[in-house]
Chain A
Amino acid sequence: MLRIDRATYDAIVAHARKDHPDEACGVVAGPEGTERPERFLPMLNAARSPTFYEFDSADLLRLYREMDDRDEWPVVVYHSHTATEAYPSRTDIGYASGPAADPRTHYVLVSTRHHAEQTGLAGDDVEFRSYRIVDGEVSEEEVEVVESYLFGHSPTTVVYD
């Protein structure tokens, strides 16, 4: 199960909406070894594409160095699909199953497609789903949104790139 606070949930959704129709991506870091997504870190989609996302190589190095220095790891890696459902694609599964990718990561997928007819969700609600991806196997997990995690900062104050 992924337990995530409301402000971080909203920040991920806002990032996905803002970058639509391109895919948005980022990380929520937390203390290494824990399941606490505490620090919202929106990333630039270096591909600037509606069908692909990637962290720029230099951004990736800076991000992981910073997390490493703070004894953090990426509890959540999120990205959006802008025309398809919030389910990991073959490409997503390939990268997430890479030899250096940690299978303890929660992969959050958000869909910003117009999907009222398909899902029955009202208005422009987005799909927000979370997965574990281990050796090519995808398992969806429950998402519990909590009002507060008593975090040290408000993720909504983060300025996007």
Chain B
Amino acid sequence: MAIQVRIPTILRTHTGGNKTVEGSGATLAALIDDLDAQHSGLKNRLVTEEGKLHRFVNVYVNDEDVRFTGALDTQVKDGDSVTILPAVAGGC
């Protein structure tokens, strides 16, 4: 079993058009490294040069926004479902 990851439309250019990919790792950071090894360029889109999750990206482990569970240090395990989405916000 692996971790299922839902990819937003624009990032499917990195996954050969696939909506969902699989990866592994004990933390979100490790999972993203594993995904990047399989789908080159993905990490650059999600993680900033300072090693933080990009602020305009939302990542969920199952139904939990990782902003509230330790961001890239969030623990993940086989069978989890991870969703990556664009944050939708703005202002005048």
Contact = CB atoms under 8 A, between A and B. Distances in A.
Interface of A: 23, 25, 27, 32, 47, 49-55, 57-58, 60-61, 64-65, 68, 73, 77, 79, 81-84, 88-89, 91-92, 94-104
13 contacts: A49-B91, A54-B87, A55-B87, A57-B67, A61-B60, A64-B85, A73-B9, A92-B91, A99-B56, A100-B10, A100-B86, A100-B87, A101-B56
A91 B90 CA distance: 5
Contacts of A60: 58, 85, 87-88
Interface string B1-43: 0000010111100000001000000000000000000000000
Contact of A95 (B6, B11, B65, B88): B88
Tell me what chain B mostly uses at the interface: helix, strand, loop, or mixed.
mixed
A55 B89 contact: yes
B89 to A, nearest CB: 4
A66 to B, nearest CB: 12
A27 B63 CA distance: 21
B72 interface: no
B88 A77 contact: yes
B83 interface: yes
Contacts of A94: 56, 90
B91 A100 contact: no
B71 interface: no
B19 A82 contact: no
